[in-house]
Amino acid sequence: MGDPIRFSQREIGQSQKPDKAPKLLFVVTEDWYFCSHRLPIAKEARRQGFEVVVATRVYRHGDVIAGEGCKLIPLNMNRGSLKFWKELSALRELIHIYRAEKPDIVHHVAMKPVIYGSTAAWITRIPYVINALAGMGYVFASEDLKARIVRFGIVRVLGMLFKRNCSRLILQNTDDVELLTRARIVRSRDVALIRGSGVDTEVFRPTAETEGIPTVVLISRMLSDKGVGEFVEAARLLKTQGVEARFVLIGDTDSHNPAAIEKQQLAAWHNEGVIEWWGRRDDIPEVLARSHIVCLPSYREGLPKVLLEAASCARPIVTTDTNGCREIVRHGENGFLVPIRRVFELADALKRLIDNPQMRRDMGSKGREMVVREFGVQKVVAETLSVYQELLEQPE
């Protein structure tokens, strides 16, 4: 994956010897997310000489992280909490970890680690900081009063935290880059555009469609701002029109997210027969092989990994014309872009693909070509390691 990083011979950090390997600390709230979105970066960083530490909430993937040679630090941070004492405790926890580990680079992933981690890094004088926002999340997607109040505060906090010279902000789509630079939350020179977390095109391979009625899948956490409700309504509309297709929700709900859909509601839709809810699945390549169309009517994204995986498997996509989603879908080429929250347009795009097998095959082939050319995981890993190198080679 390219030549190893050439570290400068000057001292890295305040108390390390010049020839000591730099230490990279990831801060991610969930271990499953680290494994699905950042583990390839950690593996390559270790191969190129980094000592890698991962601080995360350990649920079911701790052995995977430790098995790759990373030091694992269990983290108590709750990404859904807004209680003052818990938030203060989360900040103190990170300060303690940073003082104990003394990393050269901390790589924060998602909003809460970015805010608390950057604050802790400033207090503990960590040399270099990487902040990665994979989309702006519920706070920026929702227009309810609570979200607007929180958004007002976050914008100002981020504006202060991103002013540090020895830091970089990684964003996944051009819309978010324009939003944050235009609002002067971050300087353009401090932004790195790395489009998504990549996809392993050897794991997610094209397969022929299975026979039978078409299956349309939505693979995501079960959140309202992922467009789950619109998907269900589109399925209901198409079934009333006599369209023959299976509509499947795949994913679990998320109790830590204010936009979470209750399990009782998901079960009710399933029992009604409008959709099928399969719950959480870990065999996504197999799920995509059984599908004919992939749908994600989300309100806002960074660059959704599931759409990269769908395109890599040569499946046509129906998604919304919004941040992140339009990075991977070119309207009319490898799928369709529809307006946010517009059930009729969503249903119409799905029907076009349900009724036209040749269109599905043509769009799927175009999507596969696009992913291989632009979104392979090796490309994302190389671009991220390049950001690390750039920071290490500049003065603190």
Same domain, 181 and 277: no
Give SS3 for 150: helix
Same domain, 348 and 260: yes
318 φ, ψ (degrees, to nearest 5): -120, 120
d(CA 164, CA 161) in angstroms, rounded, equals: 7
Q: How confident is the model at residue 242 (pLDDT cuts 50, 70, 90)?
A: very high
Tens digits of residue pLDDT in 309-353: 999 999 999 999 999 999 999 999 999 999 999 999 999 999 999
d(CA 143, CA 150) in angstroms, rounded, equals: 11
Q: What does pTM read for this prediction?
A: 0.84
Number of domains into which the chain is organized: 2
Q: What local confidence, expressed as pLDDT, does residue 134 receive?
A: 80
Same domain, 350 and 270: yes
Q: What local confidence, expressed as pLDDT, does residue 358 receive?
A: 98
> What b/e readout covers 370-383, taking b as 16+ CB neighbours within 10 angstroms?
bbeeebbbebbbbb
Q: What local confidence, expressed as pLDDT, does residue 79 receive?
A: 60
Query: Residue 336: CB partners within 8 Å, gap ≥ 6?
Result: 317, 318, 319, 329, 349, 352, 353
d(CA 120, CA 64) in angstroms, rounded, equals: 27
Is 12 a member of any domain?
no
Is 8 a member of any domain?
no
DSSP-assigned beta bridge partners for residue 74: 56
Q: What local confidence, expressed as pLDDT, does residue 150 receive?
A: 65
Q: What local confidence, expressed as pLDDT, does residue 145 receive?
A: 67
Same domain, 150 and 230: no
Q: Which residue has the tokens 């300087």?
A: 187
Same domain, 296 and 382: no
**Residue 363: count of CB within 10 angstroms of its CB:** 25
Give the structural domain span for 345. 215-374
Tens digits of residue pLDDT in 187-225: 999 999 999 999 999 999 999 999 999 999 999 999 999
d(CA 5, CA 118) in angstroms, rounded, equals: 25
144, pLDDT greater than 80: no
Same domain, 121 and 246: no
